[in-house]
Structure 1
Amino acid sequence: MVHNTRGRVSEARSRLLATATRIFYAEGLHSVGIDRIVAEAKVTRATLYRHFPGKEDLVVAYLQGAHEMERDGIDKAVASGLPPADVLRAIAKSITGGIGSAHFRGCAFLNAVAEYPDPAHPVHRVVLEHREWFRSTVTDVLAQIGEAPPEPAGRHFVMLRDGAMVSGCLSDPAEVCDTFLEGVEGILQRR
């Protein structure tokens, strides 16, 4: 992380990342050029390259920021002291909250992996790391509920989430959210 002399995150870096995040999520990764990000962030190309050696480094930082935001929300649910089934419901509600938001454009990670299909590419690897963390977290909650074995139910939850993320862009978001929440309740009722 780049810091200024007072130890704070560079304002230019923050502007670059906020601008890239907004545009990448709304329009896609490959379709957005560095010139546009630099112009909208009101920084020079040299400033961009001082903070991010290349566009893919900026894409990775964007995805890492999305991961941290999602992780913070889920960590709060996990640490809430709620019974594990309610923690899983809270995670599901946070997902439906995103799907129902005004500017929802799908899952940032699923969108990114569609543009970077090579498993060896750094962007693809960030997506896989995020998905592994998410699946593992959900599986841990299911294990606390008493789901035996929790791994298949965790994979089922992730698949339901993936389907809801895609369908939320293509269908009525309210209907998609209801169907997703019904699927989560189905997972909980099987235990």
Structure 2
Amino acid sequence: MMPVEDFEALARVCPETVTLELINGKLEVKPVPDGDHDEIIMWVAMQCVQQQPELRLYRERGLRIGGDRNGRARPDGTLARVGRFAGDGPWSSPDRILMTVDVAPSDDAPEKVCGYAAAGIPLRLLIDRRSGTFAVRSRPDSARYRHQRLYDVGEAVALPHPVSITLDTEELKNYTR
């Protein structure tokens, strides 16, 4: 188990080509995203802003997660209202965050998802490029999300309250393989 203080010191000096996370006391290294990954995140950001102009999808924002907030994660996208992170340091509290978004080639890391749920983040969106699916998780409790709905790329993806938008995902067929 790595102490949070040691992790934060390491993360400060880590080169920009590497993204580190502390999930359930374990050091995790995220791969550098490719072009399709970036296009998907920008597409989600544009969809959110077009439908809810007061929202922004912040890229790789450092979050304190878990029930004790001793975890550190950098989701591909963090959805919040404009100005939410003003004045924050590299690691923000999960309060007033509406949704996390990750683009992954396969299933979500269970420890990371549990950390988001324990932190009380209302929604979790995973875009699985390999299977061409969207997983929308909602209703967090202290250990997990109590509801999950799966969609295929090309379907309309309904993001429930507090986001309350629908993603028309037809365009993403170009970026999932």
TM bin, normalised by shorter chain, reads under 0.3
Structure with more helix by fraction: 1
Q: Which has the larger radius of gyration?
A: 1
> Larger relative contact order (C-alpha < 8 A, sep ≥ 6)?
1
* Structure with more strand by fraction: 2
